[in-house]
Structure 1
């Protein structure tokens, strides 16, 4: 981490931190007063997005063949990273053993796409920053589910569609339902742990 002065806020973004077991303790040892931001979204959607990213780098079997060990029996491939990451309750347990919940701000990943200014405003409040971000800082391309663009110097700067907002494959409804059923108890536990519900079916 770079040196940070009293009038500055330093932010580091690393998705791997949340799922790496020994990271909470190491971060606490570095700074026990740190504020943590966690972006979460429907774990089924997140798994499909993870699959799309992997597919962009190398050929893979279909999502259905990756997600289920046996589609006929509905056996979920719990060893596949795209599935494991979405078991948020398991990972959150490690963080709550070290940090208090008031140090962790949860961002609704879907709302970050649909209403970015509102979600970022909550982050500003959590970090104790003056209100600055509003709707004028974003350009919504008008397509539901696509990532918003930032407005800089009066012009939209959009994330590369090759890395964000890729088209998701059409996944069999039976496989989606099996994954929803798989995640349901983990989601319920996560909601209880953080004292908040998200709109995940």
Structure 2
């Protein structure tokens, strides 16, 4: 009998406690009950999904195929890419905002995924290699290069297009490239094509094996072999296949296929180059012979450039 009374009292106390909790929730507008708490497994997932600093950066070159390389790497399920060029390390206003700002420009990833960003302006900016190393000395770097004469003409063509879009005049390429009949070494587009000078600064900070050189001309002709090499460099399992690419005869370059959806690069890719006389092109090719040779020695391979 005594045990029955004690048990009844215990039940009454528990009911009173529960009633008090309910009354507190009602007085506070039910805030406690309105907050959804996901299961513990979901909480772990949400905590793991975050913006991370890049484990790999496409550092250049400008007009070398950096956008194509980024979009192709993004076919890999273990890769997430920053959608826009960040210009963190080469723009002082951005760099002063700090790594928290830089991280906030990155995509959300889960553990095991690789974050990649590309800003082709990094390659030729003298201050960038040391800054990248300060962020992460083990970061993997991808450098995509193409024929430096073709790169220069493409560089000029983009600037010309931008100027004409804003209804601003711009000198013909030959006037900028030549001074009194000779190549003008001060022309900025020419300086960006002196790959050996810029790579030398990166090699003062990073070991050669940490920089993977992609053949931009080969990437355009046949993307898959270059992507397979990039996968190996990034320690990614091979997931990109030849079936991820198809040649668009209208555009004149390869487009991408993934999960039944196709994607082509924007209309600026494949834009006709601005004219340059055959004589000026020959002078440009002669000018690049020695710089190209120095670059070939630095990277341990040669390219079929003019």
* TM-score scaled by length of structure 1: 0.91
Q: Is the 8 A contact 1:50 1:82 kept in 2?
A: yes
Question: Could you say which residue in structure 1 is the equivalent of 2:222?
Answer: 115
Instruction: Please give the secondary structure, in 2, of the residue aligned with 1:54.
Output: helix
Does residue 57 (structure 1) correspond to residue 167 (structure 2)? The answer is: no
**More relative contact order in 1 or in 2 (CA 8 Å, sep 6+)?**
1
Instruction: Please give the secondary structure, in 1, of the residue aligned with 2:230.
Output: helix
Question: Could you say which residue in structure 1 is the equivalent of 2:45?
Answer: none
Q: Is the 8 A contact 2:156 2:274 kept in 1?
A: no
How big is the shift at 1:93? 0.6
C-alpha separation between the residues in 2 aligned to 1:60 and 1:190? 31
From 52, 55, 67, the equivalent of 1:3 is 52
How big is the shift at 1:192? 0.5
Does residue 195 (structure 1) correspond to residue 293 (structure 2)? The answer is: no
Does residue 153 (structure 1) correspond to residue 262 (structure 2)? The answer is: no
How big is the shift at 1:21? 0.5
How big is the shift at 1:154? 2.3
Question: Could you say which residue in structure 1 is the equivalent of 2:243?
Answer: 136
Query: Where in structure 2 are the equivalents of 1:15-30 lying within 5 Å?
Result: 15-30=120-135
Instruction: Please give the secondary structure, in 2, of the residue aligned with 1:10.
Output: strand
C-alpha separation between the residues in 1 aligned to 2:302 and 2:258? 34
Q: Greater share of helix residues, 1 or 2?
A: 2
Query: Where in structure 2 are the equivalents of 1:38-187 lying within 5 Å?
Result: 38-58=143-163, 59-70=169-180, 73=181, 75-142=182-249, 146-161=252-267, 163-187=268-292
How big is the shift at 1:6? 4.4
C-alpha separation between the residues in 2 aligned to 1:151 and 1:188? 37
Q: What runs of 5+ residues in structure 2 fail to find an aligned partner?
A: 1-50, 54-109, 164-168
Q: Is the 8 A contact 1:35 1:104 kept in 2?
A: yes
Does residue 13 (structure 1) correspond to residue 123 (structure 2)? The answer is: no
C-alpha separation between the residues in 1 aligned to 2:246 and 2:170? 34
The total of aligned residue pairs comes to 195
C-alpha separation between the residues in 2 aligned to 1:164 and 1:142? 14
Give RMSD over aligned pairs.
1.6
